[in-house]
Each structure stands twice: as C-alpha cells, then as structure tokens.
Amino acid sequence: MSRGEGIGCRSIQIFNQSPRAWRPTRYTEEDFAEFRDRMAKSGIESVIIHAIYLINTASPDREMRKKSRQALEHALRVGDEIGADGVVLHPGSRKQDELIPAIIRSGELIGEALSESERCPVLIEHMAGHQNVLAHTFEEIAGIIEAAGGDERLGLCLDSCHLFAAGYDIGSYDGIGRMLADSDRFLDKGRLRALHLNDSKEPLGSRRDRHADIGKGEIGETGFSRFLSEPRFEGLPATMETPGPERKGAVRSDLELAERLRRRGIGSRRRRRS
C-alpha cells in the first residue's frame, strides 16, 4: 500500500500471496485490521486482489482442481476481510481439451469457490488468446459465468493489452465501440468492474501478451487518450501492470501521463460531438 500512496494511486492491486507458489500466506485478524485502518487513512479508494498465476480452473486433473479451488477461495476470503472490490482471475488454459467441457469445468470451480466466501467478487480477466487460454472472447467469459451459476459477484476485468492482442483496435473509436458492443452482446453492462492499463509490445491481433509502458507500444498515446476517455470506464478501478522505467513497475510520471491522456481524450470527444 505504501508504494501506491507514494506514487499517487487512488486504486491498488495486490497479490494475497506469492503469485507463483501454491503456499498461502497466513494472515491474522490483526493483519486485516491494520490493512483496513491504513486504507481508511490513505487516499486510496479501491483495492483489487490478483489471484495467483498457477490457477487453472479449466483443468480436468483432480489435484490441479483442488489446488486451484483452494487458492481462489483463499484470495476471496482475504478479499472479504480487507474489503477488496474483487479478485481478478485468469481462468486458465484448456490446452488440447474441448472448449465447452473446459468452460463448464471452469465455471463450476469458480462457483464452488464463491460459495465458500461472503461478498468479494471474482473478476474474470479478458485474455489475449495465447496457448488456448480461456476467456479470450466475451462469449467464453459469458459461458464461464453461466456455468458458475450467474452470481452477481461474477464480473469482468478488461486489460487493454489483452484486448489489442485479441484483435480489438482499442486505440480507435470504432474499435472501442466494437469491443463494447461485443461485450454487451454476451454480458450485462454491470459485469464490467475493473481495468488493467497496459500498452502492447506486439501488433494488433497477435494473441501475445507482452506489456509495454503507456504510449510506448502499438496502441500509442493517441490510442490511449481514446481508450481512457471512454465514458463507460468512468469510476472503474484501474491498474497499470507496465514495466516502468526501471522495470520495477509504474511510477508517478506514468500515472500523470495517463491522466493527461485521459483529459486529452475527453476534450477530443467533446470536439467530435460539437
């Protein structure tokens, strides 16, 4: 939290444990109380948890499913305790398995995890589409949500790099409109709960998830001014997962650039309407 405060964040994203290990961090009630107290005294308005990368909700393997469910349940319980606005989840890869059974397995596991927690939502992240990873289309996300029981705690996280890699030109007004129309075709508008802001090192439709700093990739500054000023994104918690100038993550100047681009985009939209 201190790093987020230091660079001027209004929302932060955290891992509730090491993202590349199964071993959960054991927190105490005192840990949770301290976190809530610091949040209340800070300028940070929202916290999102990112589930660990090892989870594969689509796997048919019994042991993998057990570990994945337990990891997701742990993240949700931590989210309950700290008042998180959601747990962002990569559903996992179907590998060489058939798509529909993999979607059903994914949804069923997510539904089971939700039943073991109280209020924290699961936010399924729209993925780039590499290596048969699920949630590469809005139709797949809708299928997962349906298989999970359609709970109102099931939401969507949009990642700008992933959308671009998946074939949506979200650096153009038409591309943003097409993306949102596709989302609305399969998902209720209220499912959209969070954003990840990343430029893309790879070209449109590459299906490769390689993040670049805002304005320094294929989407570019003009593209981000259009994306960031989309009215439907207003008020959503947004997280930068960019490399940063020292490859240690975003810094204050990155946030300031994003805000300038957003304001530029708002002005451009007003001129387009006039």
Q: What is the mean pLDDT of residues 78-95?
A: 97
Residue in the block written with tokens 């985009």: 265
Position 226, amino acid: R
How many other CB atoms are there within 10 angstroms of residue 267's CB atom? 12
- Checking if the pLDDT of 274 tops 90, the result is no
Q: Provide the pLDDT for residue 204.
A: 98
CB 73 within 8 A of CB 116: yes
pLDDT above 90 for 29: yes
- pLDDT, residue 2, reads 84
Give the bridge partners for 154, in sequence order: 122
Q: Is residue 24 scored above 90 in pLDDT?
A: yes
Task: Set out the domains of the chain in order of their start, with CATH numbers.
Answer: 2-273 (3.20.20.150)
**What pLDDT was estimated at residue 241?**
97
Q: For the segment 100-112, what is each residue's pLDDT rounded down to a tens digit?
A: 999 999 999 999 9
Residue 50 has phi, psi (to 5 degrees) of -105, 125
Cα 202 to chain centroid, rounded: 19
Report CA-CA distances (Å) from 96 to 129, 132, 200. 14, 8, 27
Q: How confident is the model at residue 1 (pLDDT cuts 50, 70, 90)?
A: confident
Tokens describing residue 252: 């204050």
Q: How confident is the model at residue 223 (pLDDT cuts 50, 70, 90)?
A: very high
What pLDDT is recorded for position 230? 98
pLDDT digits (tens, 9 = 90+) for 33-61: 999 999 999 999 999 999 999 999 999 99
pLDDT in tens, 110-159: 999 999 999 999 999 999 998 899 999 999 999 999 999 999 999 999 99
Q: Which residue has the tokens 């179907």?
A: 94
Average pLDDT over residues 165-175: 98
Q: Which of 64, 53, 62, 57 is nearest to 21 (CA)?
A: 53
Pairwise CA distance, residues 200 & 74, whole Å: 31
Longest dimension (CA), the chain: 59
Instruction: Kindly indicate the confidence band of residue 239, based on its pLDDT and cuts at 50, 70 and 90.
Output: very high
Rounded alpha-carbon distances, angstroms, from residue 189 to 152, 184, 185, 192: 12, 6, 9, 6
Q: What are phi and psi of 123, to 5 degrees?
A: -110, 105
> Phi and psi for 142 in degrees, rounded to 5?
-60, -40
Single-letter residue type at 61: D
SS3 161: helix
Contact status, residue 103 vs residue 137, Cβ threshold 8 Å: no
Beta-strand ranges (E) seen in the chain are: 11-15, 46-50, 87-89, 122-125, 154-159, 192-197, 199-200, 211-212, 238-240
Nearest to 177 by CA among 112, 231, 254: 231
Interacting residues of 206 by C-beta distance below 8 A, sequence separation 6+ = 128, 165, 200
When the pLDDT of each residue in the chain is averaged and rounded to a whole number, the result is 97
pTM: 0.96
